[in-house]
Copies of this chain bind each other. A is one copy, B any other.
Amino acid sequence: MEDLAARLGVTKSAIYHHFAGKDALLAEALDHALSGLEAVAGQVRELDRPAVERLELLVRRSVEVLVERLPYVTLLVRVRGNSDVERDALARRRRIDRLVAELVGEAVSAGDLRPDVDPAVTARLLFGLVNSLTEWLRVDGRHEAPTLAAAVSTVAFDGLRVG
């Protein structure tokens, strides 16, 4: 809170004028990440297309949300459940993860995704890949969201190897 206040050029008290406490501040920030991700999840869920296509769209849109709301998603992926607020965020995240797992399962059943890798593992690797962007991405114009989304999608679905 002190660092944050210093960065804002105000005192800690000023922050407490606008937010009930550290937790409330965290909750708002996490909600900004989660609401974006939940929006694309809902959007994808209602789509009347094969599971693979919906999954790929979910991945691409998630990357776009991640780029657009990078600081908030970065915060989200670092949450470990050390407080009620964090546990609530994890619960919301898990709901999205479940959608991913479902789509992977459907896509495997439909014969569009390889069945030789455990679907549960596939789902986790898929979003591990997406979320790993927060480890190095900087919004400096060097990486456009759609380009990055395409790269992630290509690597995940088609692999790095040629031929």
Contacts and interface: CB of A to CB of B under 8 A. Distances in A.
Interface of A: 52, 78, 111-114, 116-118, 121-122, 124-129, 131-133, 135-136, 143, 148, 151-152, 154-162
B151 A124 contact: no
B114 A161 contact: yes
Sort A-B residue pairs by CB-CB distance and give the 8 closest, nearest first. A128-B132, A159-B159, A158-B159, A157-B161, A117-B151, A129-B129, A113-B160, A157-B159
Q: How many copies of this chain does the complex contain?
A: 2
B117 A125 contact: no
A122 B160 contact: yes
B161 A158 contact: yes
Nearest to A132: B128
Contacts of A127: 132
Given A113-B162, A122-B160, 17 more contacts: A112-B162, A114-B160, A114-B161, A114-B162, A121-B143, A121-B151, A122-B151, A122-B155, A124-B132, A125-B132, A128-B135, A129-B129, A129-B132, A156-B159, A157-B159, A157-B160, A159-B159
